[in-house]
Every structure is written in C-alpha cells, then in structure tokens.
Amino acid sequence: MLTSPGESRTLSCALVHDINPRRGRSNLSDLGRVGGMSKYGSLRVTDAEGRDHVFALGGTAAVLPDGIKVGRRIPAHKYWLVRILEIWGRDPPAFGAASGQRGAQDIWVNVNWYYSPADAAHSVAGFKASHCAQYERIYSNHAEVISALTFDDAPHPFHPPPPAVFFTRYFLDTSASPTSPCEMLSYATSPKREMACICGTPYDLNETSALHVMHMCPCPRCRRFHHACCLLERGHWTPTTHPLVRLAASPDTDELPPFWRPANTPIVRGAAFARLGITGNTRAVVAARRSVYAALHNGTRPPCAWDAHLDLAALIVDSSVPALILAETGEALVRMCPECKGPI
C-alpha cells in the first residue's frame, strides 16, 4: 500500500519466504532512471504473524545474516545491524493485484553497516574484539544496497543500555587506509585527547572484577577514566592525611550532611555494577554535584525535595568500590588522577 507522494510516504510489503533476501545491488544510481523506482520516507514490513514493523530514514534495523532464511529465529546478538539512508520502491502501478507479492522483490534500502567487533578486528590492525561487549557494534561508512525482505526488527535505544540491547561507541572509516577506530563523543574534543586508561586498554564491558572498576576524574582538562588497579599499581594514590584530602573535608565532622553525600560519591563504571548498566553512575553523580554547586553559588539552603530529581539508587556504590588500605599503617588511601593530580 502506498500513501501520499513525497518524502514522507510509506511503502508496504509482506515478507515472502521463497525469495532470496540477500540478493543485493551495488548502487542506487540507476534505480530511478532505469528501474522506474521512487524514493520513500519509510517502509512497513508485515511479518508472518501479521505484525507490522515500520522502518524510517535514519533509523536502525536488525537484518537477517547471510544464509538465514526469512522466518527463522536466531539469537538476538547474531543479527546484523544497519542504519537506513534511502528507501527505494516501484511506483504505484507496479503493485497491482496481478503482481501479488512479487512486488516485494523491488523494495531496496541503501544502508550503512554496523560492524561486529569480530568484523572490525579484520579491518583494523590491533583492534581487539575481546574488549567489546556481546551487543556492541561499530558504526561505519560502509554503504550497501540490500533487500527490504531482510529486515526483521528495529532496535530501540535506552539510557543506560540494558545488557541485551545493541549500542555503539566507535566509528569505523572504511574508506581510509589504514583504518582506525575513532570514539564517537557527545562533545568536541582535541584529537590528542586520550580516552583510555593509563594502561592503554579501553573500557572492557565484560570485566566484572572490582579491581577493574574505572574511576573518572571530573576535571575539565581530564574527564578520563582509569582502572582502580592501574592507579594503585602505578602509585597514583595518597593517604587520607594528605593536605589535599584534608582541604576537601571538614575538620569538625567525619559525617557529611545528607545533601552532600551523593555529590561525594566517586564517579565509576564497570561490569561490577550490574544494576548501573555499562555507563555507570556518571549522570547521577554529576546531577548531584550540580545541585550542590547551585546551592553554594546562590547562597541558599538545599530545597526540601533536593533528592527528587536524583537517581539515588545509582549513587549507592561505596560498598562495591574496593577500599584501598595502606598495609603498614592501616590507613585508607585516596586515588589520584595521573594528569591533574587531584583526588578521584
């Protein structure tokens, strides 16, 4: 079924099980001129159970791998992922009653591929697939035209991503040689900024050891995560009696006011905190600290409902963060940033 003309119109088709879904085309340059096809803004695919799946331009879709027949169920992490760039289909006259479902063969989608970690390792020297999670994918500029019949479902983004939801944190440029992965960041940064730990190892989302929990330095010049074990092994720590630590605490009390406690929580991430997800507690702690900064800046008392907008569950991590104790004195240690030398 076709709706009104224009980029917003939707093309519908039903999955046909006797069609090879992996029959591809090298490009779309001649589809409009020779193939008589038109562009569409979205695609509605009806599966064997009669359920509709709508795919729109710019959206992400799960695609059946090569050799897998339409209708066969496979584990979720085995699906291929694509981002939809263009949707092409036959003009309305091609979908008459006489054509039946054969018209579904003439629906083609121009996509960019999300590489699996194993595929990226074949393209990038030194890239370790073992450092990626099972549902992690690497977005690329590898474009290809595929049949709409391979589309199965549309993954939905979550924040933070649950364990069984696809996500991406790298971009792979397949047009350059040699290729190298570049982290996709939400803010502008210098190309020289180091994003990995001082050990040079990226964030391993599969490591559940508490010693591999990563601590973030919130200093604007740093904003970098480091493994707890790396900070300890390389001597980036100081006793709690260090002048920097004494300045950061009140000499009159060891107990922080309730309003301050969430802001005093370390910013951490790691598989050791299963309930926090892969992103850790960064968002919650930053929100708590901004509340404290706002109160101090304005010279006002904390509001009665100061914790209403905070995710307090994400701020309770003290019992999960391994304490560092100096063996000689039994004194607690504080982790220090290798760059700005501030406590983290």
pLDDT tens-digit profile of 234-252? 988 887 655 544 445 555 5
Q: Is residue 193 part of a domain?
A: no
Among the candidates 183, 200, 227, a domain finishes at 183
One-letter amino acid of 297: H
Residues 165 and 245 occupy one common structural domain: no
For tokens 């590898």, what's the residue? Answer: 142
Q: Is residue 191 part of a domain?
A: no
Q: Is residue 202 part of a domain?
A: no
pTM, two decimals, is 0.56
Q: Which domain holds residue 126?
A: 10-183
Residues 236 and 320 occupy one common structural domain: yes
Q: Is residue 196 part of a domain?
A: no
Residues 257 and 328 occupy one common structural domain: yes
Residues 17 and 75 occupy one common structural domain: yes
Judge whether 112 and 141 are in contact, CB under 8 Å: yes
Residues 211, 319: Cα–Cα separation, whole Å = 13
Residues 215 and 179 occupy one common structural domain: no
Residues 185, 53: Cα–Cα separation, whole Å = 30
pLDDT of residue 21: 35
Q: Is residue 2 part of a domain?
A: no
pLDDT of residue 23: 40
In angstroms, the Cα distances linking 166 to 114, 124, 316 are 10, 21, 26
Beta partners for residue 96, in sequence order:
none
Report the number of distinct structural domains present in the chain: 2
Among the candidates 148, 183, 218, a domain finishes at 183
Residues 163 and 77 occupy one common structural domain: yes
In angstroms, the Cα distances linking 210 to 225, 232, 274, 287, 312 are 15, 13, 11, 24, 21
Burial of 40 (0-12, 13-18, 19+ CB in 10 A): buried
pLDDT of residue 10: 43
Residues 240 and 294 occupy one common structural domain: yes
Here the CATH number for the domain that contains residue 145 is 2.30.30.490
Among the candidates 131, 165, 183, a domain finishes at 183
Residues 104, 95: Cα–Cα separation, whole Å = 9
Residues 285 and 227 occupy one common structural domain: yes
Residues 177 and 98 occupy one common structural domain: yes
Residues 141 and 15 occupy one common structural domain: yes
Residues 258, 270: Cα–Cα separation, whole Å = 26
Residues 15 and 164 occupy one common structural domain: yes
Q: Is residue 199 part of a domain?
A: no
Residues 71, 150: Cα–Cα separation, whole Å = 10
Residues 174, 195: Cα–Cα separation, whole Å = 22
Residues 215 and 122 occupy one common structural domain: no
Q: Is residue 197 part of a domain?
A: no
Q: Which residues of the chain have pLDDT under 70?
A: 1-36, 47-48, 91-105, 153-165, 176-195, 240-259, 277, 301-331
Q: Is residue 274 part of a domain?
A: yes
**CA geometry: angle 262, 249, 197, nearest 5 deg:** 65
Judge whether 312 and 287 are in contact, CB under 8 Å: no
